[in-house]
Amino acid sequence: MLQRPVWILDAGRMRKHFANSAALQLWGVEPGQEGEFYARDFTPHSDAMRQRLGRLIERISAGEIVADRWTFYPKPRPFTVDALMSGVRLDNGNVGLLMEVEHYARSTDELRAGEALRHTLVNVLLFDEEGWVTYRNPSAEASFPAERCRFVSLFADPAEGAHMWQRVIAQDPDRPDAFMGRTVSGDFVVDTAKGRRWHGIDARTTTDPVTGCLSVLVNQRDVTDRVEATSRAEFYAGYDVVTGLANRRRFADRLDRAMAVPGAVGGLLVIDLNGFKDINDSYGHAVGDTVLLEVGKRLSACAGAHDVCARLGGDEFAVILPGLSAPEALTARADDIRRALMAAIEEPFTATRLTVSASFGIALWPRDGSNPDALQRNADLALYAAKADEGHRIQLFDVSMRRAADERYKCIEDLRASLTSGAFEVYYQPLVTVADRRPLGFEALLRWRHPTRGLLLPGDFLQQAESIGLMVPIGDFVIQQVCRQIQLWQEAGIDPGRIAINLSRNNFQLGANIAGLASAILAAGIDPAQIEFEVSETVTFGVRGEAVVEALVELRRQGFSIALDDFGTGHASLMHLRRLPVDTIKLDRSFIVEMVDSVEDRALVRAVAALGRDLGMRVLAEGIETEEQATAVRELGCECGQGYLFGRPMAADAATAWLSQRRRREMRAFSAGAAR
């Protein structure tokens, strides 16, 4: 049990990396506030303190142990400590400042008392030239109460004591002047009245002030807390804190060793949990960590005795499968682990009752990579392919995955260039009344005119756009284009109706983005009543769900309308639907496709249409492609529709022509009715 306050500061990030319970108490950290403490920025505010800290880090980085006094200023009150400081290497490669507090004070009186008692914390002993003790201060007497003791008898291993003694008293005939004052230091296990402890020992040759004979002055500090903290830091350097599995650093070392064995054949299995981000978003990181811990335990139980299990970060795990004789044996072994792990993790986790699934990718060495970097890249490509294939199976790397990856990377490069080159376009798909096909407006849909692949739909590129952070800029582009097109229609005397614009999860993750979109529309002089924002059900769930609802409420307050897109494919309950500020329910096309021949789908469409009427919401059926579907939708009570039957997505000019034609048809029908 660590008694003295001990903590480690990550000198690169200026965040605390570790603190024992005594340190947390000293810093005034209440139970449950540890997360805030570890996230706190400890960068000094003054130049003088930054310079002092910089000099200290230089010294400990060079291996020096520094004894010094520091004053810290946490709320509610500051404190001053006398401490030993040394350096440790953290798992992220940064230098860690390990601070072991020997004494701390909070008031002027305590500071003065600490100064007076400062040396009582150190065992001070004087030995004669034969190694017998001649003096002990009170602290040393408490540690070593035997009436007579020798220098070597202090050590748990007398051989270490004898070796240190010889180093101290050995004389160099060529440098007799260098003998006196020689100091030898080190950390050793010693036998004390409290049991075996780690002591930092400084032994220095001097002269006995009474006899004038050669003596050895010894200062001892109990450094057990520091040594244990260092051991803990060394553990953290190689193992994941949450799961106890090997971390990325240790994993890389073990993989390098396994692949270096001459003639070795092995495999690398990489594992990614599907939908883990939703668990963190919906239930918080504490529950997420519980899931990771349980997955780590179950993975270890599934792996073999010689396999190396690791958590690489986030929700990604890996297993090194060394020493199998043939690729067939490796793939069979990997599939055994997959089956066992899938069966294990599909069992609810005790603390949360949650279940998860996983995707698996495997690469073999030396076939798929002769070095660790190449092997990992190819295993990751196999994992990517597994996730694309519904994320519920294992994929073995093959060269076609590399070609697909090259195409994705090329797509990403083209995306970056296209955002500023005018290659993106907004298409418009009509929204109509099902009965008389009267135009209600359009849904704005993004298209990418690729220089070699032609006109691409969002499904061909949005995943890559999201991976490089382009979703928000693309959303801004769509808003700008829609506003400009509405202005052109208004200038031509054309009423386009309401334009529906999709909002993604990314828009809500950036708090100011939604307000910025609304401001841009208002600044363009567009009536908010002409804009309907569409959100999917999943966007309104999770930790940010309340913030999303608040943003939608504010948009609606400003006059914009809100549509719930792809209704029926997500998690929306009736209670959830009631609290959302929704004007339109867009019934997913999957219900419409099979509706004509499916009694169940017809019942669902009828129920949603009735629900919309009762809640005062419009219900629009997506994906209507035939007259038979349109008739069925109308008979079931759904008044609005969208689909190829009424109009495909079209460029702005074509949408203008379509709209003008429909408006003229309405005018002719109106005139004919008036004439009758």
Q: Does residue 515 share a domain with residue 439?
A: yes
| CATH code of 204's domain | 3.30.450.20
| CATH code of 268's domain | 3.30.70.270
The domain boundary residue, chosen from 380, 397, 414: 397
Domain count of the fold of the chain: 4
Q: Does residue 592 share a domain with residue 562?
A: yes
In-domain check, residue 260: yes
Q: Are 549 and 580 in contact (CB under 8 A)?
A: yes
pLDDT for the residue numbered 32: 85
CA angle 209, 212, 214 (to 5 degrees): 100
Q: Does residue 256 share a domain with residue 390?
A: yes
- Angle formed by the axes of helices 511-523 and 471-491, to 10°? 20
- Predicted structure pTM score: 0.52
Q: Does residue 437 share a domain with residue 518?
A: yes
In-domain check, residue 675: no
pLDDT for the residue numbered 114: 39
Q: Does residue 628 share a domain with residue 483?
A: yes
Q: Does residue 271 share a domain with residue 196?
A: no
The domain boundary residue, chosen from 228, 251, 269: 228
Q: Does residue 588 share a domain with residue 454?
A: yes
| CATH code of 502's domain | 3.20.20.450
> Quick one: tokens of 291?
């899931």
pLDDT for the residue numbered 2: 47
pLDDT for the residue numbered 115: 45
pLDDT for the residue numbered 294: 85
Closest CA relative to residue 202, chosen from 213, 216, 214: 216
In-domain check, residue 263: yes
Rg (CA), the chain: 36
In-domain check, residue 378: yes
pLDDT for the residue numbered 416: 76
In-domain check, residue 526: yes
Q: Does residue 148 share a domain with residue 22?
A: no
In-domain check, residue 234: no
Domain span at residue 315? 239-397
In-domain check, residue 670: no
Q: Does residue 621 share a domain with residue 553?
A: yes
Q: Does residue 14 share a domain with residue 44?
A: yes
pLDDT for the residue numbered 284: 78
Parts of the chain with a pLDDT under 50: 1-2, 108-118, 176, 543
**Sign of the torsion formed by the C-alpha atoms of 414, 419, 421 and 422:** positive
Closest CA relative to residue 72, chosen from 104, 114, 40: 104
Closest CA relative to residue 264, chosen from 336, 396, 371: 371
C-alpha distances (whole Å) from 646 to each of 340, 449, 454, 496, 630 are 51, 24, 25, 15, 10
The domain boundary residue, chosen from 208, 228, 248: 228
pLDDT for the residue numbered 116: 41
In-domain check, residue 287: yes
pLDDT for the residue numbered 509: 65
Q: Does residue 584 share a domain with residue 439?
A: yes
Q: Does residue 591 share a domain with residue 472?
A: yes
